[in-house]
Structure 1
Amino acid sequence: MHLSSSYFKNRKVETLIENQTSFTTARSSMHIFETQKVTEQVHLTFDNTVLATMIAGKKHMYLKGMPSFDFLPGESVVLPPQELMCIDFPIASRERPTRCLALELETAQIHKVVQYLNEYQPKVDHGDWSSLTANLHFAHDEEVTNIIQRLMFLFTEDHSSKDFFINNMLQELIIRLLQHASFKQYESPHTALQNSSQRFVYVIEYIKSHLDGDLSIENLSKKACMSTSHFYKAFKNELGLTPTQYINKVRIQAARRMIDQTNLSLKEIFMACGFNNRSYFNRQFKKFYNISPGDLQTGLV
């Protein structure tokens, strides 16, 4: 992600730790935090639900109810109001500052989007969409990356319709964040059993345990007792990914684990993960991890 020239023009460095540059509209705020020295145990909270996105550098994050984790570019966290972030900055410097975006989301706007989804895009089996009330850490897909990049430009732009543009982008962003939250529910068995469609819980577990089997839309829709068109539409609606995108993601993640933890050849790995074509496997792997499986296996990272 790239910061606009307007950001650098308006920014004033007043502290080396979490120097804040803010841009506001009538209903939302965006903050860019910049740290230029190694430090630990920095605490941060927001009054609203916040999307925090890494732009450059590296943080180590401590959030309630989650194991600590490295926070890297291409990743975001969503936190409810007044949720404490405890942050370490292991590599920040003047030459290479660590930068992070924090985008505050109004509770009223989130509720409005949730109401819209429950009315016009309800979940399978009459389940309800719910607000962003739990901590969420996720890697971006292309759509979320593009929205955040666009918002970074809009907040720093001097345009008479700026508030209107930003409000529309925020609505799309909230929908995609809700889909990511739904995706995490299905990935967490205990949460999924409580809050999610039993059909999709079963289908996702089936996919994970049959990576080298028949994962065609036709077969999966039968497992869900749905027509192929309804299954495809409902799956993408709730998880933000098409069934094929989800299957590729799970297969590539499994391949990565096998590369890291076994001595199997790449052919054995991609065949075990359900790929029949080496070049297609290579393309999907590099798209996901930005490195070829061969380079990863030989240590050329």
Structure 2
Amino acid sequence: METMKALHPIRLSSERELKTSVENRRAYTMNNCELNVFETYKISQSVSLQFNDLVITNMLRGKKVMHLFNQPGFDYLPGETVIVPPKVQMLIDFPVASMEEPTQCTALAIDRQQIIRTIDYLNEHHPLEAKRQWSLDFDNYHFINNVALSASINRLIAIGTSDEVHKDVLVDLTLKELLIRVMQTQQLNNVLDNKHQLTNNRSGIGFVVEYIRSHLGEQFHIEDLCMKVGMSKSVFFRAFKRELGLSPVEFVLRERIRLAKKYLTGPNSSIKEACFATGFNSLNYFCRVFKKYEGITPGAYQMMS
């Protein structure tokens, strides 16, 4: 699991701008989307919210408990994204909101035709492997922001709340990037959780994913992976990043850290064993990479577990 990437803060509403203390709304309307900024200043429960368009929501401050699709509620925190289909009711609890520490989030409502145009363009000009189609996955609606996703969201919020003359053009370009980042993040999460048909593909990137997972404790080079799927290095990197939104090297490191966490929580485990059993050949490098992805050192993780 990668460390959460929090978004840049947005100014809070002034006292004279507040119309309500529960989900006070500021709206910024553009041609193909509407950016809403919601703030809540008191503890509340079962607040209902619904949009006619697909909504990408992002937490900026505080904490919510979200109830969606008649499922148990889940904590929604800064550094996380939730996507909600059109006309789906959200029920929201605010367990800790106050005037001193309000809850703040954005809700980006996107025009349906803009989404269709973006997905159609990707399927035509940048198709995925194994005749799969680009699409939004509403079974994977709550996830942690990675670096690329956070950067797209930050850009869109900055443009949407600005007085930029060419705001609509710039927002449309950023919207396309954001939709791609969301779909790549969903696909990567599904691959990491063994839920995606990509891992059943016995050629191309699917084969590489399975090979990497089966040989994490070994030393191998990117050139070896390219040879196994008959791709040049440049084609292989582009295909891998198009599918999952990250490079093969990043994927290998993520998978090694995931495996290392299992070693660290096992009986009589040691940091040294976790390091070398997962393909790292330097203890110092292992500790640096572990802290980058988990936010804490291997020793601290071991103690917490």
- TM-score of the two chains, using structure 2 as the length reference: 0.84
Letter in 2 for 1:292: T
CA distance in 1, matches of 2:55, 2:184: 16
1:119-158 to 2 correspondences below 5 Å: 119-131=124-136, 133-158=138-163
- TM-score of the two chains, using structure 1 as the length reference: 0.85
CA distance in 2, matches of 1:250, 1:160: 44
CA displacement at 1:193 relative to structure 2: 6.4
Is 1:295 the equivalent of 2:283?
no
Is 1:18 the equivalent of 2:18?
no
When residues 17 and 113 of structure 1 are mapped into structure 2, their CA distance, relative to the original with a 3 A threshold, is: same
Contact 1:258–1:264 (CA<8 Å) still a contact in 2? yes
Tell which has more relative contact order, 1 or 2 (C-alpha 8 A, sep 6+). 2
When residues 126 and 98 of structure 1 are mapped into structure 2, their CA distance, relative to the original with a 3 A threshold, is: same
When residues 294 and 163 of structure 1 are mapped into structure 2, their CA distance, relative to the original with a 3 A threshold, is: same
Aligned residue in 1 for 2:167: 162
CA distance in 2, matches of 1:184, 1:292: 23
For 2:112, which of 107, 115, 125 is the aligned residue?
107
CA displacement at 1:157 relative to structure 2: 1.0
SS at 1:249 equivalent: helix
Aligned residue in 1 for 2:8: 2
When residues 11 and 142 of structure 1 are mapped into structure 2, their CA distance, relative to the original with a 3 A threshold, is: farther
CA displacement at 1:92 relative to structure 2: 2.4
CA distances 1:198-254 after superposition (whole Å, capped 9, x unpaired): 433443344334321245323434554544443322111111111111121222233
Is 1:98 the equivalent of 2:99?
no
When residues 13 and 171 of structure 1 are mapped into structure 2, their CA distance, relative to the original with a 3 A threshold, is: same
Stretches of structure 1 that go unaligned for 5 or more consecutive residues are: none
Is 1:72 the equivalent of 2:77?
yes
- CA RMSD, aligned part only? 2.9
SS at 1:275 equivalent: coil
SS at 1:100 equivalent: strand
Letter in 1 for 2:18: V
Contact 2:122–2:134 (CA<8 Å) still a contact in 1? yes
When residues 232 and 127 of structure 1 are mapped into structure 2, their CA distance, relative to the original with a 3 A threshold, is: same
Letter in 2 for 1:117: L
CA distance in 1, matches of 2:155, 2:16: 19
Is 1:255 the equivalent of 2:237?
no
CA distance in 2, matches of 1:252, 1:17: 41
Contact 2:52–2:86 (CA<8 Å) still a contact in 1? yes
SS at 1:128 equivalent: coil
When residues 147 and 206 of structure 1 are mapped into structure 2, their CA distance, relative to the original with a 3 A threshold, is: same
CA distance in 2, matches of 1:263, 1:86: 45
Contact 2:187–2:196 (CA<8 Å) still a contact in 1? no
Contact 1:51–1:104 (CA<8 Å) still a contact in 2? yes
Aligned residue in 2 for 1:207: 212
When residues 275 and 83 of structure 1 are mapped into structure 2, their CA distance, relative to the original with a 3 A threshold, is: farther
CA distance in 1, matches of 2:25, 2:279: 47
CA distances 1:130-180 after superposition (whole Å, capped 9, x unpaired): 345544222112121112112222122112211112111111111111212
Paired residue total: 298
SS at 1:269 equivalent: helix
CA displacement at 1:290 relative to structure 2: 2.6
Aligned residue in 1 for 2:55: 50
SS at 2:197 equivalent: helix
CA distance in 1, matches of 2:154, 2:187: 23
Contact 2:51–2:86 (CA<8 Å) still a contact in 1? yes
Contact 1:79–1:134 (CA<8 Å) still a contact in 2? no
Letter in 2 for 1:59: K
When residues 197 and 130 of structure 1 are mapped into structure 2, their CA distance, relative to the original with a 3 A threshold, is: farther
Letter in 2 for 1:167: D
Contact 1:4–1:156 (CA<8 Å) still a contact in 2? no
CA distance in 2, matches of 1:174, 1:97: 28
Identity over aligned pairs, percent:
38
